[in-house]
Structure 1
Amino acid sequence: MIPAQFDYLAPTTVEEAVAALAEHGDEAKVLAGGQSLLPVLRMRLNAPEVVIDLRRITALRGIREDGDDLVVGAMTPHSVVASDPLMARHAALVPAAIEHLADAQVRHRGTFGGALAHADPAGDLGAPVLALGATFVAVGPTGRRTIPADDFFVDLFETALAEDEILTEVRIPRRTGWGAHYEKFVRVAHQWPIVAVAATVRAEGGTIAEARVGLTNMGSTPLRARAVEEALVGQPATEEAVRRAAERAADGANPPSDLNGDADYRRHLATVLTRRAVLSAAGA
């Protein structure tokens, strides 16, 4: 199908993009990599009057260190994030998730920030940024603000970004001494996960001191498995202890039922994948 007619803007700075978004309001859509928006436009599920393309804003691309954080520009392609040595050294959970994300074409065109701002609960990146304790940076007419990952995902395809704000970067803390692992269950390689789990664990002398566990496709947003995290603290990094904690993976979750599996099936998957992810992250 052919999209409905729209005006096209291609700003070269964040300030220009914010001004354009403020001017056109809810008549506008922001275009990042386009891997989600373009199909929606072609099917005419959305018909904005203006499309604001961020691809010419070079300041939104790249990965750098800033104190204890890695800073990932929102317009950095998935393939760049996946191959970056800083990410491999300090936030390997993200490249591990991107490895399973769609196909090579999508990974080269799609962007890190665009996928997160799209907020698909079945997307591969939401759970990892939750498990890593990332922070989102947004810029709007009133300036810059930060949003913790725990507060960023609000509902199905909805984030804490205001209508006149643009996501500019994601800050990921470098966690020395933490292990991490990503587990994804699919029926066909590189499809959306039926369920996925991202886990980060800090163990001391064989005992789990801290843990963060993110769940994919277990509700209308990516979720923290807080009951699991609490149950893991102080426990030995053994198969039996982790299995007991992982039984609580679906506590508070509201997984969907669809052609890929019903809610009970997803709850079962969450417990199995959480056990695997935590054990691998703990080095057990």
Structure 2
Amino acid sequence: MTDSKTAGWRFAFSRRWLGYLAFAIVFAIACAFLSNWQLARSKEAAAANALVTQNFDSQPVALADELPTLGSYSPKQEWTRVTVTGTYERDQQLMARNRPFNGNPGFEVLTPLRTADGSLFIIDRGWVPTGNTTDAPDHVPAAPAGTVTVVARLKGSEPAIAGRSATGDQVGTIQLSVVKQKLDGADVYTGAYGLLDTEDPAPATAPTPTVTSPPSQDEGLHWSYMIQWIIFALIGFFGLGYALITEYRKLNSHDPAEQARAAERDRRRRAKRTDSDVEDELLDATR
């Protein structure tokens, strides 16, 4: 006979079941945080896509208007097209190493462009492959001589990468503070550099452009993951409720009212059985 202390729903207020409830609540809170995080990621992806759409093919504006100081730059300016006229300092050209392109190792060519006020704006003129015999390109197409007008897309200075360094005319990343040191402390734009779009006059040969079309604007599966975390939280409470009802039925199996409900549930299950289910039961019984 069932202990009278466990009859009815009183067992649900035991320490064990209150612990289960607390665990379900903590699990649901964790799922809510993860769902909200996915929502934030989705909004970030949407904002990044909107930025690309707005800036990538924007009308070029003067570099000095977009970057009024050498250190100016906001992430919202990424991909904005700027125009600047000057002369390439071809003898101060640098190479950014470890820059794969289409699965091949190589370098990106960084050529300082001296502007009318004497400052240097770094132009990433494109990619060249690693040489056959040395850790350097076999050939780098020369930048145009004389005055040139450049249209470029802004990119922020890159961070340093632990363990990646370079010597001579090479840099480990396009970290503009390091580029400035390589150029002996000249007046260098350190907030942003430019990915070459066009230059006039155009050279006969040039490095391979690294960006010719807008970056992928796939927002990912953040919305799906957000909904999944909500479903997981609901499943947690559903599982708790199912376990609670199952134990109630077990502990109260002696109660006439519960016995009547169990008989009704059994009758409904039997009513839902198909002929195939009956045949399967008969076959199992004869084995």
Q: Specify the TM-score bucket, using the shorter chain as the normaliser.
A: under 0.3
Say which structure is richer in helix.
2
TM-score, normalising length from structure 1?
A: 0.22
Q: Which has the higher contact order (CA 8 A, sep 6+)?
A: 2
Structure with larger Rg: 2
- Structure having the larger proportion of residues in strand: 1
